[in-house]
A = this chain, B = another copy of it.
Amino acid sequence: MKLPTSTEWVLHCATSLAQLRPGETASAAQLATYYDLPAPYLAKQLQALTKAGVLAASTGPRGGFRLGRPAADITLLQIVEAVDGAAQPYECREIRQQGRGALAREDCQDTCILAAKMGAAHRAWRASLAAVSLADILDELPSGAPARTRRILMG
């Protein structure tokens, strides 16, 4: 069970974009330089965030990415699932209905207990991430961080 490396990238990029002022944007190249990341691949991930509505993109000169919603309405879960997909890590393939020990169809109407427990754990994980918004992250940063980020990122 491993999250893509790009998960860290987009979390930090989203945090940086949240520190911009309304109307300002940052291009994929600027973000890649800021964190020393491969620019084309990072752009691909930002595309996924845009498709999910977390970010909004503008083309042309002085274009780039910005948040698609207020920072308080963007949760870490939405960012993570935008790049990794929302599929459950544990996929129940109903092996209890296969092989010599296959159970009758009527005994499998309710979901497998093991799948239910794994699903509960996944829900706990999602709830933990859904409880944190980008605004919460910004509150934890030092007060001088936004100015520094804007200066280095866009300068």
Chain A contacts to B: CB under 8 angstroms: 1-3, 5, 7-9, 11-12, 15-16, 33-37, 76, 84, 87, 89-93, 95-96, 98-101, 113-115, 117-118, 120-122, 124-125, 127-129, 132, 137, 140-141, 149, 152-153
Q: Nearest-CB distance from A30 to chain B (Å)? A: 9
The residue in A84, A118, A120, A137 that gathers the most chain B C-beta atoms within 10 A of its C-beta is A118
Complex interface: chain B residues within 8 A of A137 (CB): 113-114, 117
* Main secondary structure on A side of the interface with B: helix
In the complex the two chains form, what is the Cα distance from A54 to B149 in whole Å? 49
Q: A113-B141, A132-B117 are in contact. Are A101 and B34 (CB under 8 A)?
A: yes
Closest Cβ of chain B to A150, distance in Å, is 11
Determine whether the beta carbon of A114 is less than 8 Å from that of B34: no
What are 27 contact pairs spanning A and B, CB under 8 A? A1-B84, A1-B89, A3-B89, A8-B92, A8-B115, A9-B95, A11-B114, A12-B114, A33-B100, A34-B100, A35-B96, A35-B98, A35-B99, A35-B101, A76-B114, A76-B121, A100-B152, A101-B152, A113-B140, A114-B137, A117-B132, A117-B137, A120-B128, A121-B125, A121-B128, A124-B124, A124-B128
